[in-house]
Amino acid sequence: KQEVTQIPAALSVPEGENLVLNCSFTDSAIYNLQWFRQDPGKGLTSLLLIQSSQREQTSGRLNASLDKSSGRSTLYIAASQPGDSATYLCAVYGAAGNKLTFGGGTRVLVKP
Amino acid sequence: SAVISQKPSRDICQRGTSLTIQCQVDSQVTMMFWYRQQPGQSLTLIATANQGSEATYESGFVIDKFPISRPNLTFSTLTVSNMSPEDSSIYLCSVAHTQTNTEAFFGQGTRLTVV
């Protein structure tokens, strides 16, 4: 059974600092890994999708890496802003069961 | 991408009643899913909505409690039946265009409070 873990559970940084969010998964048989952002009481916004054959994806200030063999992904957010405050979720789409398994999320607060 | 419209966005319901949540997508999609997010928790998959056949439920979720319909490739409903306060959660619809190597998109969710 796939298990996804996100560390840390919460993170508070001053504005301008770079953010590093970690995600680990137990079963490396995945089709892809996806990072999402969730604002309080809202749905999920897709940030980055990394296919199993890729090592990283970039979008603006966001960069996500994937090491499938070790079961790890890292989301980097450069030069954080107060608007980056949200919960960030990673999810893996597994070959077994064709479904997304979510981590517990990292709650980020960027202080002005 | 896919634009998902989920209704209602929130509701407050009496215990013992039922609520049907609608999910409408702006394009045909192969996969549609329903998730539950309990307060302070991550997302848990309830079921995969299959077009023209019975939904596939995850362990711990049953059709009598969470009946799902999917009459076509752009629409699905989830009903939360005989509600109790423990059903208070955010319910989210998700879609993907194909079964593999594809991006998942989510609706804005339905915030349900059962009193």
Q: Which residue among A43, A99, A103 sits closest to B108, beta carbon to beta carbon?
A: A43
Q: Is the confidence at residue B101, as pLDDT, over 70?
A: no
pLDDT above 70 for A8: yes
- Out of A22-31, B35-44, B92-101, pick the least confident: B92-101
**Cβ atoms within 10 Å, residue A85:** 17
Least confident of A19-33, A90-104, B9-23, B48-62: A90-104
Short-list A28, A49, A35, A46, CA closest to A95: A28
Helix and strand element counts for chain A (H, E): 0, 11
Residues within 8 A of B (CB atoms), A 49-78 only: 49, 51-52
How far apart CA A31 and CA A52 sit, in angstroms, is 5
Q: Do A51 and B101 touch (CB under 8 A)?
A: yes
Query: What distances in angstroms separate CA B15 from CA A13, B19, B88, B114, one per listed residue?
Result: 42, 11, 10, 6
Is the minimum CB–CB distance between A31 and chain B shorter than 8 Å?
yes
A1-5, B9-13, B28-32: least confident range: B28-32
pLDDT of residue A94: 83
In the structure, what pLDDT confidence band is assigned to residue A107 with cuts at 50, 70 and 90? very high
Using 50, 70 and 90 to split pLDDT, how confident is the model at B100?
low
Distance of CA B85 to the CA centre of its chain: 18
**Closest partner CB to A105 (pick from B42, B48, B101):** B42
Asked if B42 has any chain A CB less than 8 Å from its own CB, the reply is yes
State the Rg of chain B over Cα: 13
Handedness of CA A25, A102, A64, A53 (dihedral sign): positive
Q: Which residues contact B62 (CB under 8 A, 6 or more apart)?
A: none
| A103 close to B (CB below 8 A) | yes
DSSP letter at B50 equals P
Residue-level pLDDT at A108: 97
Share of chain B above pLDDT 90, in %: 77
Q: How confident is the model at residue B109 (pLDDT cuts 50, 70, 90)?
A: very high
Compute the Cα dihedral for B24, B40, B60, B105 and give only its sign: positive
Of A41, A51, A104, the CB nearest to B42: A104
Statement: residue B99 has pLDDT above 70: no
Give the pLDDT confidence score for residue A97 in this predicted structure.
65
Which residues in chain A are closer than 8 Å to B3, comparing Cβ atoms? none
Mutate to test the interface with A, among B5, B32, B38, B42 (most CBs of A within 10 A): B42
**A48 to chain B: nearest residue by CA?**
B103
Chain B within 8 Å of A5 (Cβ-Cβ)? no
- Using a CB-CB distance cutoff of 8 angstroms, which residues of chain A are in contact with residue B48? 98-99
* Confidence band for B53, pLDDT divided at 50, 70 and 90: confident
